[in-house]
Amino acid sequence: MGNRFFRNIAFLIFILFFYQANAQDSVSKAPLVGVWELTNVAVEQDGEAVRPQNTTLKVFDSNGTLSQVIVTDKGSFILQRGKYEIVDKTHFKDIILEDSRKNSNNLGKNYLIEYNFTNEGNNKLLSLEGALEDEKGVKTMHWKELWRKVDILPN
């Protein structure tokens, strides 16, 4: 009886630890979770911010999945899919698993993205900043993006 009791206690402790670890992971991702619409993008350090030509949406889910969708007058398509991992309160790692562009060299790459949140009126904004790298890991192009959280309509 004593051995079974300790196995049950060990199992219970494992379950509690597992749920606590997953809950903390979801909480750390919580601010990013949702649908974001690209409002402007700037390339290079002194680049002027411009509005995107097409509606672009970035979707973060609580499981660490990230998708980017482009909406054009000819239809919508998924540009990229991947995962994201929170590094700290201002950085996440973007891991690109799929890219619809045939000439993309992003597949399998990990990019460190700096992020921060601001509010503008009733809009929650997400600023992202990062850099693309060549095959040798040399940063080739810096970019900044500003995203607006897509509102959920009340019932």
The domain segmentation of the chain, as residue ranges, is 31-149
pLDDT at 86: 94
- 33-47 core/surface letters (b: 16 or more CB in 10 A; e: else): ebbbbbbebbeeeee
- Of 74, 67, 61, the closest CA to residue 32 belongs to 61
Rounded to 5°, angle at Cα 39 from 112 and 27: 50
Burial bucket for residue 68 (CB in 10 Å: 0-12, 13-18, 19+): buried
Q: What is the tens place of the pLDDT at every residue in 92-101?
A: 999 988 888 7
Whether the pLDDT of residue 1 is over 70: the answer is no
Q: What is the tens place of the pLDDT at every residue in 59-78?
A: 999 999 999 998 888 888 88
| 95, amino acid identity | I
Phi, psi for 68 (deg, rounded to 5): -125, 125
Highest CATH level, class, for 31-149: mainly beta
CB 85 within 8 A of CB 93: yes
Q: What is the tens place of the pLDDT at every residue in 102-149?
A: 777 677 788 899 999 999 999 999 999 998 777 777 777 888 999 999
Residue 48 tokens, joined: 């002027």
Residue 94 tokens, joined: 């973007």
Confidence bin at 23 (pLDDT 50/70/90) = very low
Phi, psi for 12 (deg, rounded to 5): -60, -45
pTM, whole model, 2 decimals? 0.75
